[in-house]
Amino acid sequence: MLRQYTVAAVQFSPKLKEKANNIKKLYQMARNAAEQGAKLIVLPEMATTGYCFLDRQEIQEYVEQVPGRTTDVFGEIAREYGCYLVVGIAEVDPVTDNYYNTAVLIGPCGPIGKYRKTHLYVSDTVWAKEGDLGYPVFDTEIGKIGCLICMDCYYFEPARMLALQGVEIICNLTNWNGEKCPAPSWHTRAWENVVYVVSTNRCDCERGVLFSGGSGVIAPDGSNISYLDSVDGIAYAQVDLDLTKPKKLVSGIDWMQERRPCLYKNLNLNIYLNNPFSVHRLYNMKSLPEGKASQIGVFQFYPEPFAIEKNLVEIESAAKMAQQNDLDLLVLPEFAVSGRVSSPDEAKWTADLIPSEVLIDKIANLAEKYGVYLVLGAVEEDDDKLYNAVFLINGDGSAVRYRKAHLNGVDKLWATPGDQGFQWVDLPLGRIGLLSGDDCVFPESTMCLAVCGVDIIAVPAAMHEPKPTALKSTGAPLSSAVTFVDDDSVHWHLWRTRAVETNTVIAFANQIDSGGMGWSGIFGPTDWPRQEKVMNCEEGIISYPVDTSSKNGIYPDKPVRVKENVRMRVPSHYDSLVVQKKR
């Protein structure tokens, strides 16, 4: 098996309905890549036909079977050069006459297999049926290869299911538009699964749709290896598949081993097919709060270890600022009162010095004094066990607690993982979910809360990774009114991706210290246009407006309540996400 080799991501802008000419140009580009030694060559989504068709009737003369004429053409290159190609086509099933948006993997001996797009974009829905082949992984002499198509990569589930089958390279064929690329979602899928992502796009305008370019290869650590901005061409990169084998992140989290499928069971529910108000008001139980316009904030600072009184002074100062800025909710970092703990003795000392009932009382006094709900992370002891917990505390002394389910390497030295599931609470400003920073490494956590109807996810954190990554300005024909097209120091921020894929507002309050990381932020439920406030490494508070109200109370009209992305998931495919792995 070949473990190190060159991959080629082809960026190509086809002409709508000019199939023969498109294939001719793609053939030459693919041959050029093969001559340069590329062993895996990936072409864009529907690159042979163009993309923006109006209906089945308009596309019917351009669909084809697999195998067919197009796979024969590109099979010549695979056979001659001993390489592999992934080609995006419009496919027709000869038995059912259904049309599919399809990716075909072709090897030296011909077609190996195909994938049919499951998460359809609006342009697909007018002619294509949702894919029915699941998420196959093809075991080849150049590694384990999986395919996704464009909108599939917007959701965590498809890439996760490929990764659970051992995929090493995900070929992501796209017609990505409206957002500067390489898209944050592409970075996230590579990083959270520790795999290579090869994304191929176009960069032009077709029927008024502006495509974003940015084709290239993203490494298992989430970094760009190589990409093209706004021209047709080929981005080459060297891959080393052995880098996909260890699934452990810098924090010590091995995502494959540390998943908690027993907590993920509602990932397979499709609640948002229906009116969310009807579902959440079913039998007059668990009704969503009426909601309102409010202001929430995060406080980023360095909680000094063992300096409890000093940290409490800092927290009171932040609560006072929250009052001055009319904040309803303020999220503080993990270990906000005690500072970080890194051993059983330190955790036990902290729990003894400020037991949870004492902590709740102290923070409740501040919440009452300054008229704000306070969320923070702390060490909790219960029944001789220590937990890394998150508390939401009200001025009346009431508190909701969540015990961190996904522990990092240091947590494991002293903490017991929580087993009570993901927690949320209803407040006048909305339904508030609680997580800790490391939980968000696992997209299952945020999506489970979203399915429960959470509007806001409060995330106290003490994270050192993943650091946001920058991206230079783009020459792609994008609207600056919608897309951040200039140089951007926080192009990819994990918690932005989590907010957008779940249509929630995420308030991420991180620590700052000598090791990093800062970059706290509040991220809105949609990204076109981007809606957020982000800090760097300075101490202070940022605030953000949230509106969870509804004009008529019959159907939600705010993104956090409509949850369009959650509705477009395809849970019928997601069974493998909730299967408990045998140890």
Query: Which residues make Cβ contacts (< 8 Å) with residue 251, sequence separation at least 6?
Result: 408, 409, 410, 438, 441, 463, 464, 465
Half-sphere exposure of 101 (CA within 13 A, CB side): 32
Contacts made by residues 402-405, CB under 8 angstroms, sequence distance 24+: 402/434, 402/435, 402/436, 404/377, 404/436, 404/438, 404/439, 405/260, 405/263, 405/439, 405/445
Half-sphere exposure of 391 (CA within 13 A, CB side): 28
533 annotated active-site: no
The residue with tokens 């032009």 is 204
Between strands 385-393 and 399-403, the pairing is antiparallel
**Helix 308-324 to helix 356-370 angle, to the nearest 10 degrees?**
30
The residue with tokens 């800062």 is 518
Between strands 143-149 and 169-173, the pairing is parallel
117 annotated active-site: yes
The answer to whether 300 and 535 are in contact (CB under 8 A) is: yes
537/511 Cα distance (integer angstroms):
9
Left, alpha or beta for 30 (phi > 0: left; psi -120 to 50: alpha)?
Answer: alpha
Q: Which of 45, 314, 334, 346 is catalytic?
A: 45
Q: Which of 64, 114, 144, 150 is catalytic?
A: 150
The answer to whether 468 and 415 are in contact (CB under 8 A) is: no
- Please report, as a single letter, which amino acid is at residue 496: R
- Please report, as a single letter, which amino acid is at residue 326: D
117/177 Cα distance (integer angstroms):
17
- Compute CA distances 571 → 23, 66, 278, 523, whole Å: 35, 27, 20, 25
Q: Tokens in use for 94?
A: 């000869």
User: How remote is the C-alpha of 298 from its chain's centroid?
Assistant: 21
47/103 Cα distance (integer angstroms):
10
45 annotated active-site: yes
Q: Please count the other Cβ atoms lying within 10 Å of the Cβ belonging to residue 352.
A: 10
548/223 Cα distance (integer angstroms):
35
396/315 Cα distance (integer angstroms):
18
**Active centre residues (catalytic):** 45, 117, 150
